[in-house]
Structures are given as structure tokens and as C-alpha cells.
Amino acid sequence: MANDTMTSVATLMRDSQKEILADWVDQQLKDPARTQAVPESSLRASSNEFLSIFQEAIQKGNLDNMAAPEWEGARKMLSELSASRALQGSTPSETASFIFSLKEPLFALINKQLGAGNIASSEAIVRYSKVLDQLGLYTFESFQKSREAVIRRQQKDMLEMSTPVIKLWEGVVAVPLIGTLDSARTQIVMENLLQAIVDTNSKVAILDITGVPTVDTQTAQHLIKTVSATRLMGADCIVSGIRPQIAQTIVHLGIDIQDITTKALMSDAIREAMERTGWSVIRNTSQES
């Protein structure tokens, strides 16, 4: 098909942008997938912006390759739009319909320009349909990527949130471990713990594994490494929170942890740590219950 037909569609779009916009926004508002996440005013604004960018891009005549530089503006706008919509809580279908709903008004316009039902208009419709499909998929993918980015950030936040180092007493720090002790988390625990030992000038560190559901050989290995690193810093390490089922499992696995001081309860570990640092806890007998 002649490219002048294509550019004439572009020209026509420019001339009747207002009508298309009205039609398109109408389509989007009618969409049953629409949630209230995006207000009508911003919907109208982004639709208008996209129409201008789209019109400019098709004017340049490249309708086959959406990765081409001509479409950079459109891609940039769509990925920003998807990112903001992913954060606002729009659904994926709603976000993708932003592009797909442009089909109807655009095809109506093409039919009006080239006459409905003839070869030229059907060809134009097929061609523009492909363009909008590609852009729609691009929008969908961008939406997905933004969601994934959110998940990755949350995972990272969770890793850091769940490994606080607490100063229990002068010279005593503790790390309550919760969840799975994988390599990434062990690395963070170790870094935080060793730094805390330096910062607080601690002599004893307590690693509490009450919140670790499974201790397999890898978890044990990570614990042993953390204990060794603590010792290299000149501090003692006590592992507490060993539940009966964990103790039996460790024995059956055949893991040798004889060098490591372990305690069933965190309170036992605290008592031990206080003793080692020269403190003693004395209960005031007059308040004994």
C-alpha cells in the first residue's frame, strides 16, 4: 500500500484529534475492566498526549518496527504510563486496554477517510491494527516489568528488615533470625553483625534461630561460618533457640557443632553472655513474687 495513504491517515488524525480523543476517552470510560484507580482527568490528559506522539510517529512512515527510533517517544510514554499505573493499582488488562481501545475510534476514522469496505481501508486497518497490537503488548510488558521491580524491591526490603542486630547489654549483641537462612541473608546478617560488634565493642554475640523453621546442612554451614567470623573479630558467639526437633535433626544429619555454644532459649543465652562479660543479675528479694 502506498505510504501516502499512511501519511494521509496521520494528517487526518492531526486534523480530527479532538474527535478521536473524545471517542477514545469514551471507549476507555465504558471499558468494563476499568477500575477507579485512574481518574478521568488524567486519563484524558495521557490519551491526548499519546495521540500527539502517535500521530507524529506515524507521520514518519515506519509502521513495521516499533523498536525503531521514530517510536522512542511513544515507547517512553507508554512505559512511564504503565509504571505509574502499576503503582496506582490498575489491573494489567485495564492498562493494556489503554492502547487496544484506540482501535475502534481510529478504524472509524480510516473508514471515514478511505471509504468503508474497500481494499485500501481494509489494508490500512490491518496495518494499524498490527501497530496498536505491538504497542499494546509493549505496554503490557512494561506494566509487568514495573510490577516485578516492585516485588524485587520488597524482597530486598524484607531481607534487610528481618535481620536487625540488637544491643542487649553493654558488650552483648543479638540477632533474632526469622525465616530461611539462605546465602543472601547470611551475607547480610554477617555484615550487620560484624559491624555491630565493632560499633558496640561487644564481646558476645547471640544468634537466635527460634524463627528459622528448617535447619538443613546449608543453614548449619551458614551458621558455622557466621560463628567463625564472629570469633575472628574477637567475640564469642552463642546460638540460641534450638528447639527439640531441630536438635534431633542436626544429630541425624551428622553435623558437628561441638565447638559452638548452643542454648535452648534466648534467655539462657543472655544469662551466659552476662556471665561471660562479668555481669550478674540479682533479684531483689523484697519484690520476689
Partner 1 sequence: MVVKSQESRAIKNEDDIAVVRSSVKRVVALLNFSLVNQTKIITAASELARNVLEHGGGGEARIELVDEGDRVGVRLSFEDLGKGIPDFDKAMEDGYTTGKGMGLGLGGAKRLMDEFSITSNSPSGTKVSITKWQERI
Nearer Cβ to partner 1 (57/250): 250
Q: Return the CA Rg of the chain.
A: 32
Nearer Cβ to partner 1 (65/217): 217
Q: Is the distance from CB of 202 to CB of 172 less than 8 angstroms?
A: yes
Q: Is the distance from CB of 114 to CB of 5 less than 8 angstroms?
A: yes
Q: Minimum CB separation from partner 1 for residue 260, in Å?
A: 14
Nearer Cβ to partner 1 (215/238): 215
Q: Minimum CB separation from partner 1 for residue 262, in Å?
A: 17
- Closest by Cα among 38, 150, 25, 147 to 90: 38
Supply angle C-alpha 18, 83, 61, rounded to 5.
50
Q: Tell me how far apart the alpha carbons of residues 23 and 108 are, in angstroms, rounded to a whole number.
A: 10
Nearer Cβ to partner 1 (118/214): 214
Nearer Cβ to partner 1 (254/278): 254
CA dihedral 122, 124, 125, 127 (to 10 degrees): 120
- The DSSP code sequence of 53-115 is HHHHHHHTT--S-TTSGGGHHHHHHHHHHHHHHHHHT--HHHHHHHHHTTHHHHHHHHHHHH-
Q: Minimum CB separation from partner 1 for residue 163, in Å?
A: 17
Q: Minimum CB separation from partner 1 for residue 264, in Å?
A: 15
Q: Tell me how far apart the alpha carbons of residues 143 and 140 are, in angstroms, rounded to a whole number.
A: 5
Hey, what's the cell of 45?
490528559
Binding residues (CB under 8 A) for partner 1: these are: 180, 182-183, 213-218, 220-221, 244-246, 248-249, 252-255
Number of residues written out for the chain: 289
Q: In angstroms, how far is the first alpha carbon of the chain from the final one?
A: 95
Q: Minimum CB separation from partner 1 for residue 227, in Å?
A: 14
Q: Minimum CB separation from partner 1 for residue 93, in Å?
A: 27
Nearer Cβ to partner 1 (117/244): 244
Q: Minimum CB separation from partner 1 for residue 252, in Å?
A: 5
Nearer Cβ to partner 1 (131/242): 242
